[in-house]
Amino acid sequence: MVKEFAVSRKLNRRTFLGQLGGVTAASLVAGFAGVPSSRRLNPTVADAAEMAPTAVQDRRWQAYNLRQDAAMTHSGQPFPSFPTNGDEDCYPTKLANYTKGLPHNQLGEVEPTAYAALVKAVETGRPADFEALPLGGRVKLANPLAAYAFELEGYDPHQLEMSAPPAFKSAEMASEMIELYWQALTRDVPFAEYDTHPLTNAAVADLVKCSDFRGPKVSGVVTPATLFRASTPGDLTGPYLSQFLWLDVYHGTMTLAQRNRVPVAKDDYMMAYPEWLNIQRGLPPAWVNVLDPTPRYLRNGRDIGEYVHRDFTYQAYLNACLILLAMNAPLKANMPYRRSLTQGGFITFGPPQVLDCVGRVANAALKAAWCHKWLVHRRLRPEAFAGRVHNHLTSAARYPIHAEVFNSAAIGAIFHATGSYLLPMAYPEGCPTHPVYPAGHAAIAGACTTVLKAFFSESFVIANPVVASADGLSLVPYKGTDLTVGGELNKLAANIALARNTAGVHWRSDGIEELKLGEAVAIGILTDLRATCPEPFTGFSFTKFDGSTTTI
């Protein structure tokens, strides 16, 4: 199924000028009046360097042309399609869609009128319709109007396509649920023990049986070395976590050791049905995470899950950039100042520009994610799917869940550990109050790491790599295959994306597909940035998450 948006995103030049308004348009025309036509059509950087009034007028015209060319280029892109998995139309009770925060019955199913009101608000985009939504509790929905926000640099959020997520009753969805059960059960297993621990080996054996598991494999088989990882270039090389989550970060005169306040072992929530139901209805949690008083280096799933619980949007990538700058990691060989005899990059092609770009793409990526979350997919969260599993197995209801979920070893292991079939959540509040697909953390990860790969040499080998001890109290030297900047940036993106799965709030496909969406956002912004550079430059080149190389 393909969804269409009613709002047109295309403006031709005449419409654009008309919408400037009388005063602004008149000022614009007056500003160009003294510029010879030849120079209006063919302005040069050299002309703009003159500070005479005519040169200022030239510069204004150049800036206008740059903005118009970028806008026309993006508006001229083919109109995107928005395929869905069809679940919203398939199930009248909306059992396969996001409904958290709305009124629910005792089965955790949304009240039909409440969901209809949500769909109406989404279709109209009117703030008043969102304000009129009935809520089941006191927890508010997370910024649905952001789905309509424009982005004036790079692609507009409504121009970017995504594939449809797995359908509710599919074997792929079943495999993702089985993986999530195992990620919850293994939260306290150190990454360093994945090869030998009984729980991770049980997870491997169970996932091998899944008929449509899309995680990485070796010779077609899931192994402890591929468990809970992505398949981006370099992601399967070396330790589970990226070096950028362990190495010291240099903030000016301060050195930040990446030791984190993390929850104690077995600090899980929403395993009792009444608690689960209250959270679905939008009631605030009755508990808070119990934190370990000793800060630790990230060493297991619970730790990295808490990292993505408390981080600010582009924290991990700002840190990565600062680490790269401190280790004097080289920029790409084609960067303009790599071979200059008289100049060095700074505001352009230097640290300030890289740092700016890392932060700049983050919110643009979130806008793209919110467009798909609210306007297209409205896919349900894992905690809600687990509620369907629980009600099905306790005979409270019947749902079209793929049999592989019920036949998995994960089901028995979860019931033995918790006494229910609900998904143990790392956060007392469970998932955020916005739809699951795609993942916002993964969107930012895809965008920010793409920027870093575009600037820094991906083949540069990281000196003196480390790995956290099993207790997280120290870092020890890593002895193994060389770890490159490109590989560790890809791994960082995957770590952050899939850490939300470890916490129980996202599916594998949410993160993997959203890395690609974030990458597309960064490509659009880098395309616009490329046009503003006065230096001779052959373009930004980097390795995409699918392994191909692109140049902007």
Any catalytic annotation for residue 441? yes
409 and 277 fall within a common domain: yes
Is residue 206 situated within a structural domain?
Answer: yes
Residue 424 lies in a domain: yes
| Mean pLDDT within 486-506 | 98
In-domain check, residue 328: yes
**pLDDT surpasses 90 at 20:** no
Q: Please, which pLDDT band fits residue 23 given cuts at 50, 70 and 90?
A: very low
**Is the pLDDT at 82 greater than 90, yes or no?**
yes
Composition of the chain by helix, strand, coil, percent to 5: 45, 10, 45
**One domain, residues 268 and 382:** yes
Is 188 a residue whose pLDDT tops 90? yes
Please give the structure tokens belonging to residue 59. Answer: 């510069």
Which segment of 28-32, 208-212, 477-481 scores lowest on mean pLDDT?
A: 28-32
Same domain for 188 and 41? no
Q: Kindly report the CATH number assigned to the domain that includes residue 322.
A: 1.10.606.10
Separate counts of helices (H) and strands (E) for the chain: 20, 10
Query: Distance (Å, rounded) from C-alpha 159 to C-alpha 517?
Result: 11
Domain assignment present for 330: yes
Q: What is the mean pLDDT of residues 184-211?
A: 98
Note the pLDDT of residue 51. Answer: 58
| Residues forming beta bridges with residue 475, ordered by sequence position | 468
Judge if 314 and 442 occupy the same domain: yes
Q: Given 25, 59, 75, which residue is the final one in a domain?
A: 75
pLDDT at 73: 87
Catalytic residue, chosen from 372, 377, 434, 506, is 434
Residue ending a domain, choose from 45, 75, 105: 75
Neighbouring CB atoms inside 10 A of 420's CB total 20
Place of tokens 């614009």: 28
Q: Is the pLDDT of residue 509 over 80?
A: yes
Q: Is the predicted pLDDT of residue 174 greater than 70, yes or no?
A: yes
Give the CA-trace dihedral at 507, 513, 519, 525, to 10 degrees.
Answer: -90
Q: Name the pLDDT band for 18 (thresholds 50, 70, 90).
A: very low
Question: Which H or E element spans position 70?
Answer: helix 53-75
Give the DSSP H or E segment for 389: helix 382-393
β-bridge partners, 91? none
Report pLDDT digits (tens) over 88-117: 999 999 999 999 999 999 999 999 999 999
Instruction: Identify whether 128 is part of a domain.
Output: no
- Shared domain for 324 and 465, answered yes or no, is yes
Give me the pLDDT at residue 3, please. 65
Instruction: Tell me, yes or no, whether 400 and 537 share the same domain.
Output: yes
Say how far apart CA 208 and CA 204 lie, in whole Å: 6
Residues 38 and 182 in one domain: no
Side chain identity, residue 441: H
- Cα(413)–Cα(199) distance, rounded to whole angstroms? 10
Q: Is 117 a member of any domain?
A: no
User: Which of 372, 402, 441, 506 is an active site residue?
Assistant: 441
Where does residue 143 fall: left (phi above 0), alpha (psi -120 to 50 degrees), or beta otherwise?
left
- Residue ending a domain, among 58, 75, 92, is 75
Which residues are CB-contacts of 483 (< 8 A; sequence separation ≥ 6)? 234, 237, 238, 243, 461, 462, 465
Catalytic (active site) residue 372 = no
Q: Is residue 480 part of a domain?
A: yes
475 shares a domain with 339: yes
Mean model confidence pLDDT for the chain: 92
Structure tokens at 124: 């109209």
Q: Are residues 472 and 352 both part of a single domain? A: yes
What does the DSSP assignment read for 270-284?
Answer: --SHHHHHHHHTTPP
- Residue pair 58/39 in contact (Cβ under 8 Å)? The answer is yes
Q: What is the pTM of this model?
A: 0.91
**How many domains does the chain fold into?**
2
Average pLDDT of the residues in 245-252: 96
Evaluate whether residue 281 is within a structural domain: yes
Q: What is the pLDDT of residue 1?
A: 66
Report which residue type is found at 331.
L
Range of the domain at 274: 171-551
Listed in order, strand segments (DSSP E) in 378-495 are 466-468, 475-477
